[in-house]
Amino acid sequence: MQLSVIIVNFNVKHFLEQCLCSVQKAIAGMEVEIIVVDNNSTDNSIEYLVPRFPAVRFIINKENTGFAKGCNQGLQQAKGDYILFLNPDTIVPEDCFRQCISFLQAHPDAGALGIKMLDGSGKFLKESKRAFPSPRTSLYKLFGLAKLFPHSKLFSRYHLGHLDENQNNEVDVLAGAFMMIKKEVLDKIGGFDETFFMYGEDVDLSYRIQKAGFKNYYFAGSSIIHFKGESTRKGSMNYVRMFYNAMSIFVRKHYGGSRAGIFNFLIHVAIWFRAGLSALSGFIRKIGLPLIDAGLILVSFWIIKTVWASYVRTETEYENILLWVAFPAFTIFYLVAAYYAGLYDRWYRWSELIRSTLVASIVLLAGYALLPEQYRFSRGILLFGVLLAFVLISIFRLILISSKVLNSNKEKSAHTNTLIAGSEKEYEQILQLLKEAGQHDRVLGRVSVSENDTTALSNWKNLQKLSATVPFREIIFCRGTLSFADIIGAFQAMPHGLVAKIHTTGSSSIVGSDSKDTSGEAVSKENGYKLAEPYNRRLKRLIDVSVSLAGIITFPVQFFIIKKPFHFFSNCFSVLFAQKTWIGYAIKEKNLPPLHPAVIACNGIPVSIKQQLPTESLQMMDYWYARDYELSGDLKLIWKVYRRLGH
């Protein structure tokens, strides 16, 4: 066996699908085995991938054992003379493996090889070549000197910035995303140290390879795409803790004396520093943002009230007790409206701030109109207070975006115009996939991949010129007529600001990533489920809570309406505490957006009653429900089967 490719997967099935497609093209004519270790993925990875890749050997774990242990599981079964540890969010060109093996064969002193890696926007990933961590390099990195002097041999030693990224070089550390190692070396030194759950295991293995008398090489003769960040959330507390703890384990294991003490001190400083920043940004995103908004809204009302009383209605006095009740109440109404309008979704969108402000204004003015006369104080204060709140919240959001606490990339991609690079047949296949995902309306047209094709907007080699005349921001490359090597080359030559994605002919997904700092995006028919949209899920939950509360408040009345009133009362609490949902799937579904167990199936039959339809029909019915979900549909069905909600 010439080569064993080992991939550890955790919840990135679409990225792994494209990775395996590229690996299968790269092993053509070679004696290679592919081993995938699944670490208890919950995204239906095994059911999705196994039928598509019958030649791949899958090892299925019942728990997430970590990257190092997963790699070692694959290594135990590997039979190749060379072992490649490969990340699932990578794309390799067709000649990659042959070139790497040829390089290793030509360098008897080599123990392992890493490769030139590019992120999802075609930019070089600095972690392709690294030095071993030390107190000095860590200090330079921590205080930003490495970033200020990216090519300095002294300050940028961690990423070996002084070495040409386009030249082969001997290096210290190879990235775990692509490590090709001679099997004889691993037989001598062992596999990954399983003390490292995630991060640091590649540094440790690289160190042990050198300690055994072998050299690590950075190979620039081929390039791969590493979308990076799919299984990682770099701003999270968990990432900070795991990454720096891994560095601490490495230091304790391999360094001794005062050097280890200094390094560990710096590591703990870094942990607390990064943890503080991460905690602050995390608090703002998850909890603090609505609290800060509430403060801005209250300040807005107070400012407008002061201005109104001083310059507009100088003869009117506003009772403090009334304002202390009214302003907080209006603030709560505003925040609730903003939440359901999507203002606190993961990605900030300017349109959602406008929408939430409009909805809040309408709700507040409507509520104001219903108040008794003695409780009304001024529509002007209310209206201008909302407008000032909109301005202040907008300014605050811009500050958060500029400091990268919030990310607005989705705002751009929500209205992205897309081109497809492929043949006419490939174009139709991708267009059909985008239709199933509900994203076909943004496609402008096709870019040809053949010199003789004059039916397209332009040729794929002319993207620079095309971007100056056609308003597109995204291009989807199809691996069919084009090779993976062609596509990776195109990634490197893309105009600035252009987002690229990859689809392999015959696969069921499209994958891509804006950069190394943002989580990648996978497009498949699963994106086409309206029920998966946060906005619809919030409204569905609102219906559940509203019906449950109404049922609990009016429970005595339900004795005369509901067939099984006590069971209905129990259902109300189960739904209220998110253990059930009123309307849901008829059978348990893995491939659809997750829902709590239903009281009533989407065909109107209580789930406690055995369905008469065959399983295939029920699956299709659930699929339609998730794909075409409408708020009104749930309301109509609840009204129609109200008497049976006690089942």
Give the tens place of pLDDT for each residue, 58-74.
Answer: 999 999 988 889 999 99
pLDDT digits (tens, 9 = 90+) for 403-430: 666 665 544 444 578 999 999 999 999 9
Give the Cα separation of 431 and 433 in Å (integer).
5
pLDDT digits (tens, 9 = 90+) for 576-635: 999 999 999 999 877 788 899 999 999 999 999 988 888 888 988 998 899 889 989 999
Q: Measure Cα distances from 373 to 240, 485, 636 in Å.
A: 56, 73, 36
Measured over all CA atoms, what is the biggest interatomic distance in the chain, rounded to whole angstroms? 93
pLDDT digits (tens, 9 = 90+) for 388-408: 888 888 888 788 777 666 665
Higher pLDDT, 362 or 594: 594
Q: Measure Cα distances from 156 to 116, 149, 456, 543 in Å.
A: 18, 6, 46, 56
Give the Cα separation of 471 and 444 in Å (integer).
9
pLDDT digits (tens, 9 = 90+) for 114-164: 999 999 888 999 889 988 766 566 666 655 666 777 777 767 766 777 788
Please give the single-letter amino acid code of residue 16.
L
- Residue reference for tokens 């199933």: 436
Question: Is the confidence at residue 232, as pLDDT, over 50?
Answer: no
Mean predicted confidence (pLDDT) in 442-466: 90
User: Is residue 423 helix, strand or coil?
Assistant: coil
Q: Where are the alpha helices (DSSP H) in 499-597?
A: 534-553, 555-558, 565-576
Instruction: Say what percent of the chain tops pLDDT 70.
Output: 79
Q: Please say whether the beta carbons of 34 and 52 come within 8 A.
A: no
Question: Is the confidence at residue 98, as pLDDT, over 90?
Answer: yes
Helices and strands per DSSP (H, E), number in the chain: 23, 18
Q: Please say whether the beta carbons of 588 and 634 come within 8 A.
A: no
How many C-beta atoms surround the C-beta of residue 248 within 10 A? 18
Outline where DSSP puts E strands in 317-378.
Answer: none
Mean pLDDT of the chain, nearest integer: 83
Across 123-132, 190-199, 219-228, 531-540, least confident range: 190-199
pLDDT band with cut points at 50, 70 and 90 for residue 266: low
- Residue reference for tokens 């390094």: 263
pLDDT of amino acid 321: 61
- With residue 96 as reference, give the H or E element that holds it: helix 96-106
- Residue reference for tokens 């030649």: 55
Give the Cα separation of 422 and 319 in Å (integer).
69
User: Is residue 181 helix, strand or coil?
Assistant: strand
pLDDT of amino acid 230: 43
Question: Is the confidence at residue 346, as pLDDT, over 60?
Answer: no
User: Is residue 143 helix, strand or coil?
Assistant: coil
Is the whole model's pTM more than 0.85, yes or no? no
Q: Please say whether the beta carbons of 488 and 427 come within 8 A.
A: no
Pairing verdict, β 521-523 and 510-512: antiparallel
Give the Cα separation of 188 and 209 in Å (integer).
9
Q: Of 173-177, 262-266, 312-316, give the range with the top mean pLDDT.
A: 173-177
Q: Of 199-203, 244-248, 524-528, 534-538, give the range with the top mean pLDDT.
A: 534-538
How many C-beta atoms surround the C-beta of residue 351 within 10 A? 12
pLDDT of amino acid 257: 57
pLDDT band with cut points at 50, 70 and 90 for residue 219: very high
Higher pLDDT, 192 or 149: 192
Give the Cα separation of 275 and 268 in Å (integer).
10
Across 173-187, 252-266, 290-304, least confident range: 252-266
Beta bridge partners of 225: 91, 118
- Residue reference for tokens 């043949």: 423
pLDDT digits (tens, 9 = 90+) for 31-62: 999 999 999 998 889 999 999 999 999 999 99
Q: Measure Cα distances from 249 to 54, 173, 274 in Å.
A: 39, 16, 18
pLDDT of amino acid 527: 74
pLDDT band with cut points at 50, 70 and 90 for residue 256: low
Pairing verdict, β 521-523 and 110-118: unpaired
Give the Cα separation of 193 and 68 in Å (integer).
6
Question: Is the confidence at residue 544, as pLDDT, over 60?
Answer: yes
Mean predicted confidence (pLDDT) in 523-537: 82
- Which structure tokens are listed for 575? 């739904």
Question: Is the confidence at residue 253, as pLDDT, over 80?
Answer: no
How many C-beta atoms surround the C-beta of residue 602 within 10 A? 21
Among residues 540, 557, 281, 314, which one has the least CA distance to residue 400?
A: 281
pLDDT of amino acid 520: 72
pLDDT of amino acid 411: 42
pLDDT of amino acid 312: 82
